């Protein structure tokens, strides 16, 4: 077998890294939203689709492992 013919192709699909997210329930809209980290990676920032209220969840030491939150807005 001649190994100079080019790269060997794998039948496995490429591994994708998962982006961390929170699940946020906006009560006035009765709607769940998936919220991803901001570009700086220091917070999750969300906005209610009905009333526009903003919610910010900071990332850092001493925080919580919870992934689902509820925002009472409107």
Q: Which of the two residues, 5 and 43, has the higher pLDDT score?
A: 43
Residue 33, domain member (yes or no): yes
Q: CA 32 to CA 29: how far, in whole Å?
A: 9
- Is residue 55 assigned to a domain? yes
| Domain annotation covers residue 10 | no
Among residues 36, 41, 27, 38, the alpha carbon closest in space to that of 74 is found at: 27
In a domain, 12, yes or no: no
Residue range of the domain that includes 24: 19-71
In a domain, 40, yes or no: yes
Bigger pLDDT: 24 or 4? 24
Is the model's pLDDT at 7 over the cut of 60?
yes
34: β partners: 23
Does any domain span residue 34?
A: yes
Q: What is the number of structural domains in the chain?
A: 1
């Amino acid at each position: 077998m001649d190994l100079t013919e080019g790269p060997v192709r794998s039948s496995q699909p490429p591994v994708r890294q998962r982006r961390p997210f929170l699940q946020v329930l906006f009560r006035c809209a009765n709607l769940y939203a998936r919220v991803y980290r901001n570009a700086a990676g220091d917070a999750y920032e969300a906005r209610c689709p009905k009333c526009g209220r903003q919610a910010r969840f900071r990332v850092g030491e001493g925080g919580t492992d919870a992934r689902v939150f509820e925002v009472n807005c409107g």
